[in-house]
Chain A
Amino acid sequence: MRPIRISLDGDPLTGSDGQTIAGLLLAAGLRSWRRAPSGAPRGVFCGIGVCFDCLVTVNGVRDVRACRSRARDGDVVTTQSRAEAP
């Protein structure tokens, strides 16, 4: 499969075409990327778009479920924290 590059909080990551953002992050060795209201780390839990634990900001759009969105070459992904959300 075609390799793709995305960035997470500015750091470059590589994956392959067809992967979800969550799949790409897990395959890159990450286990958590979001913070719950208390600041506790969260990553993937349900994997199918039900729990909302895996939320990220993709190209400026907040609250995208990483497990349900395919990574596209050049995606700028930033982590979110509910601890700082308005």
Chain B
Amino acid sequence: MTRHVVIVGAGPAGLAAATAAVRAGAQVTLLDAADQAGGQYHRMPLDTYETKRPRILERCDWWPGGAVWALERHDERRPPRVHVISGPDGGTRRRHVLEPDALVLAPGAHDRTLPFPGWELPGVFTAGAAQALAKGEGVAVGDRVLVAGSGPFLLPVAASLLAVGSHVTAVLEANPAATVLRGWTQSPWRLAAQAGKAAELAAYAALLARRRVPYRTGRAVIEARGDGRVEEAVTARLRADWSVVAGSERTTAVDALCVTHGFSPQLELPVAAGCALRDGFVLVDEDQATSSTGVYAAGEVTGIAGAPAARAEGVVAGWVAGGGSPARLRTVRRRRDEGRTFAVRLAAAHPIGRRWSGWLRPDTLVCRCEETDYGTLCRTADVSARAVRLATRAGLGPCQARICGPTLAELLDTNPHDRPIISPIRLGELANPPEEKESTP
């Protein structure tokens, strides 16, 4: 019988996995909660998408708008059952249950933004939000925009903002130049290997220089101010450990602020599948297999290394999940390993400094949903993590701690990714029985 492979996430990793699994001879179901394939990297306006749809979608069972809301472990020798809800939210959605022979998880990552005073003001966005709106819909989040945080991702975001007509006042990298340079130049011969990514970043840097957008290192946004919406940003110089240099504060008038300090992998699905983690990412072997039988992982859930690395991992995962022989993978494995090296260097060049919490004030919100402030958390933090959550409701709001989870984990020492329900589902939908797995949504 043909192997049935279910792939969750149609970003660079999931699309590459689908192509490889089909090539290996498997029957493939590719799911994405979004109605467009491409993930975060290949986001584009709907009309452009209609002419540029990836060709693999014709050769597999493609379920746009198919969100996996639960994984059910029913037999330790097999991958879990996949519970899917499909259709537009607010419209008619249908439930399905899939029982694949192999499962590839490629759900990607989302921005990690550390809290700072005023970050809840409208007009403060993650850098990813600005990117998604600019790339996907041509919408500029503001006219005068400051981009800040850490990592090379800030560069394409500034470029996209310029492309939709925003004035970008500056791009601020929180790490000092010494940290960034040490990380990037540690092993120059390895940098050359990731030439694709390096050339892309160089092009962004050249664009910013041409448009006279200053790129400053060792400077961060430590406060957003405004009445009902952001009107100004307070920036300050940081030391290598991200402690604020007193007296270095400056204010800039802005109508939007885009801040991202790194990425958090979307670990809900791997955790629900029982996959072991290491250093906050899914642990995978040479073949992208996780510790759970028949479950593979690819892309940013295994490490933050950009789209080329995600693609290479997807090829390996899809091919092996589809029953292909791992011996045939030498070249792509090398590319995958280069991607992993790149991830390590990226983490070294753009770490989150240990002393960032120095810019928090007692009334700074940590949990945006429940509006729990830092002062309240500190007062309750000497009791158990569970007690803190129940007493302050931090991490118990609608986002289920996706935003504040890593921060709370740092403060309270808990696992931020254990959620019984991965994607929101309404009670009425839960009450309906799932439809037959053969029916396409």
Contacts and interface: CB of A to CB of B under 8 A. Distances in A.
Given A26-B139, A36-B371, A51-B402, A41 B89 contact: no
B431 to A, nearest CB: 16
A53 B228 CA distance: 15
Given A23-B137, A26-B133, A27-B139, A48 B120 contact: no
Interface of B: 33-35, 40, 45-47, 88-90, 110-111, 120, 122-126, 128-133, 136-137, 139, 141, 228-229, 368-371, 397-399, 402-403, 424
Contacts of B122: 31-32, 41-43
A65 B89 contact: yes
A67 B136 CA distance: 11
A55 interface: yes
A61 B93 CA distance: 12
A37 B370 CA distance: 7
15 contacts: A18-B47, A23-B133, A23-B137, A26-B139, A32-B122, A32-B228, A41-B228, A42-B122, A45-B125, A45-B368, A46-B403, A47-B133, A50-B402, A67-B132, A69-B88
Contacts of A69: 88-90
A50 B90 contact: no
B89 A51 contact: no
Given A52-B398, A63-B398, A46 B137 contact: no
Closest 5 CB pairs of A and B: A47-B129, A18-B46, A32-B122, A52-B398, A23-B137
Contacts of A32: 122, 228-229
A81 interface: no
A76 B129 CA distance: 24
Interface string A60-73: 01011101111000
A46 B128 contact: yes
Given A1-B47, A32-B229, A45-B126, 20 more contacts: A19-B139, A20-B136, A23-B133, A23-B137, A26-B141, A36-B371, A37-B371, A41-B122, A43-B122, A44-B125, A45-B124, A45-B129, A47-B125, A48-B132, A51-B402, A55-B398, A61-B90, A63-B398, A69-B88, A70-B88
Which secondary structure characterizes the binding site on chain A? loop
A75 to B, nearest CB: 9
B398 A31 contact: no
A6 interface: no
A61 to B, nearest CB: 4
A64 B125 CA distance: 19
Nearest to B119: A45
A31 B424 CA distance: 25
